[in-house]
Structure 1
Amino acid sequence: MTAWLFTLTFAVAAPFWALMILLPRWSWTVRIISSPLIVLPVVVIYALLVIPAFGDVLPAVASPTLQGVRDLLGTSDGAAAAWAHMIAFDLFVGRWAWLDSRERGVPALVMAPVLVLTILLGPLGLAAYLGARTRWRRPTAVRAPEPQRLG
């Protein structure tokens, strides 16, 4: 079951990455990616892997040591759970970057390699986007009027 969940993890996230990278201007892409619930399938997989092993996982993360984390990740269940953890957070970060890039007008051709980098090496993709986004400023929002007080 662990091997199957490991394989399923990226398979359920890949369609969302494909939408952001390959179909960034499709009207359905923005509708789908706008929901933070796109990470839910991976979160469910993570829960299926972590909850049964909670007694082993909690000590390793509550008071982490290099040895304890290494031992946890050295198991099939631990590696699969770590993979689901990474995929969920990489997708959430990629989603945020994609939505933010649309608000800023960052070209899709700039975002495609940033998103690929985020898939492969999450924190480096985030760093690349944080660097790239400085070139495009968010449009200034119109300030909402102050609410009127009654009485």
Structure 2
Amino acid sequence: MTPEGIFGVAGQAAMLGWLILIFLPRRWPALLWLPRFIIPFGLSLLYSGLAMAHILTVDGGGFGSLAEVKTLLSNDWALLAGWVHYLAFDLFIGGWIAVQADKVGISRLIQAPILLATFMAGPLGLALFLAMRAGFVRGAPSEEAVMQGAAA
């Protein structure tokens, strides 16, 4: 299979995971395994194979300088490995965000743009979620306050 063909298959797998996380009206625990674990695991295996087979074979490529990374990513196979790395980690983080947001009671309508940001620019979505969760949890009444209100 060509790098372009693998690129398409990997992208479709990741897209399926994102569609499940963002657009399904309910998050069924059994179905969440697909975007949270199954697809990222498959992409991680693909990345590992690509990295082992191609990243160490690029003359002048490496991770010691920006010039070495540029040389490394000039190889289509190594570039594909890097892309699959992004797909795997961003989807895994998206699954984590979805579960954590559900746990603290953040509305799915608020989650959607955060998940879209994670899909498009992983660390941006993660930063948005962490900031929102900190504000959301801080603004929520403590368990003690809730119990006192119920006793009154």
> Is TM more than 0.5 here?
yes
Kept in 2: contact 1:32–1:38 (CA 8 A): no
Kept in 2: contact 1:10–1:87 (CA 8 A): yes
Amino acid at match of 1:73: L
In structure 1, the residue matched to 2:18 is: 17
Distance of aligned partners of 1:56 and 1:31 in 2 relative to their CA distance in 1, 3 Å threshold: same
Spell out the pairing of 1:1-151 with structure 2 (5 A cutoff): 1-27=2-28, 30-34=29-33, 35-56=36-57, 60-61=62-63, 64-137=64-137
Amino acid at match of 1:97: I
- Higher RCO structure, 1 or 2 (CA under 8 Å, sep 6+): 1
Aligned residues: 136
1:37 deviates by 3.3
CA distance in 1, matches of 2:97, 2:65: 32
Give ranges in structure 1 of 5+ residues lacking alignment: 142-151
TM-score (norm 1): 0.79
Higher helix fraction (1 or 2) = 2
1:17 deviates by 0.8
TM-score (norm 2): 0.79
CA distance in 2, matches of 1:139, 1:48: 48
Kept in 2: contact 1:5–1:45 (CA 8 A): no
CA distance in 1, matches of 2:91, 2:27: 19
**Worse overlay, 130-139 or 110-119:** 130-139
- Percent identity at matched positions? 29
1:45 deviates by 2.0
